[in-house]
Amino acid sequence: MIARSAYQKLPYLACFLVCVAIDLFFFPATTVFPDEQRFLASATRLAASGEFWVGADRAWEMPGTALFYAPAVWAFGAQGAIIVIRIAQAVLLAAQVALIASIARRVFGKPTVAFVAACVAAFYPFLLFYQGLLLSETLFNTLLLGGVAALFWWRDRGLRFDGAFVLTCLLFAAATYTKATLTILPPLLLAVAAWGAGVTWRRTIAVLVAASCLYAAFMSPWWIRNASVLHAFVPFTTSSAMNLYLGNNRNNPHVGIDWAHDAEPDVVAALNALPDELARQRGYAKAARDYIESNPVTFVRNAALKFLRFWNVVPNATDYRSPFYAIVSIASFGPVLVLALACALRQWRRWRVLAPIYMIIGYFTFIHVVTIASLRYRLPIEPLLIVMAAEPLTAFIAAVRRRMTQGTRMVSHVA
């Protein structure tokens, strides 16, 4: 039993060691992307002043990543914190592998599926790459997977209003503090999980109401803080409308995500000149709404293009369109996508059990089809696709092993 337990933990250890090797020998000692510099600057200012800022704005993005980075910045300085943060994110990715195994075990009820899911996740290139970047993705994915794992644990415990229920809401709220993409999804997920388990509509509504109240309570410190500094109710961020505008303006027929080429320079210059971030938010929202209302057919066409961009099996960014990156993407995400679709077909009778996973995948797809789409924004749902892909992959491995065993027996019998 001890040996088997240690064997099942090998993917976590292997994942951590691979991450450390990547962090030490692949990435430079500095940040790579501009977004990393923004997160590091916010963490540096937070560590020095105790206040959260993003440049001159107070709620441009959620504070979770800066809060996570700030202790390392305070202890080692901005430059020295980079490797410390990367190692911390390596630990988080190893935790993600464990959470993926937990979700797979609870969804499919087979330790072998959990082990296969953990092995795939431990060496999945996109997860390994992003853990080495000072971005919100690794922390967000860990908290999101923690919420999903707690959700299925709560379901298996009988859907009671107990500590598992509170923990599920807390983890989803923590994920929202890191990235605002979830918005109002968490209470709906708990309600869908309860409904999928076969409870009455009355009980489902009770779960929805209780989860909404608890989720709101966990989010209230952010709301109170924003009301204090901005004198307005800001439930999430003041930058969401910018993404809506970037994906929906007359200068972006190819649905790109480059502000230098895919937005209207005059509109951007005028709105960015506004000192009030709330006014900027309203201005970008109005510009996007006006465009969508004036071009409904183009909006639908662009949504289809963004869908293809979001689910592309090769990188969209020009810097990552080399044969090497294309092969890595096709060889990793391609099989996971195909196997996840095979799982949906194989498990169609159990769609209620898988409903929370389907809901998260559909929700992220919808959000980014409406706003902006990129492989980076698909990353949060890829661990869930790995969970699904592990089921038919495990069945395939078992079938191959049976055939090999039968072949060995036949050879031995003939001999």
Predicted model pTM: 0.95
Instruction: List the structure tokens of 149.
Output: 């794992």
Average pLDDT, integer, range 333-359: 97
pLDDT tens for 107-153 read 999 999 999 999 999 999 999 999 999 999 999 999 999 999 999 99
Per-residue confidence at 411, pLDDT binned at 50, 70, 90? low
* Beta-carbon contacts of residue 324 (< 8 Å; ≥ 6 apart): none
How far from each other are the two terminal CA atoms of the chain, in whole angstroms? 36
Check if the beta carbon of residue 96 is closer than 8 Å to that of residue 142.
yes
Reduced to 3 states (helix: H, G, I; strand: E, B; else coil), residue 65 is helix
Task: Identify the CA nearest to 195 among candidates 185, 207, 204.
Answer: 204
Instruction: List the structure tokens of 150.
Output: 């707690």
Query: Chain-wide mean pLDDT for the chain?
Result: 95
Average pLDDT, integer, range 363-380: 96
Average pLDDT, integer, range 288-301: 97
Per-residue confidence at 278, pLDDT binned at 50, 70, 90? very high
pLDDT tens for 2-22 read 455 666 789 999 999 999 999
Per-residue confidence at 412, pLDDT binned at 50, 70, 90? low
One DSSP character per residue, 235-260 reads SS-S-HHHHHHHTSSTT-TT----TT
pLDDT tens for 172-203 read 999 999 999 999 999 999 999 999 999 999 99
The pLDDT value recorded for residue 317 is: 80
Check if the beta carbon of residue 43 is closer than 8 Å to that of residue 221.
no
Average pLDDT, integer, range 68-94: 98
pLDDT higher than threshold 50 for residue 1: no
* Beta-carbon contacts of residue 378 (< 8 Å; ≥ 6 apart): 310, 311, 364, 368
Q: Which residue has the higher pLDDT, 6 or 352?
A: 352
> Across the strands, what pairs with 54?
57
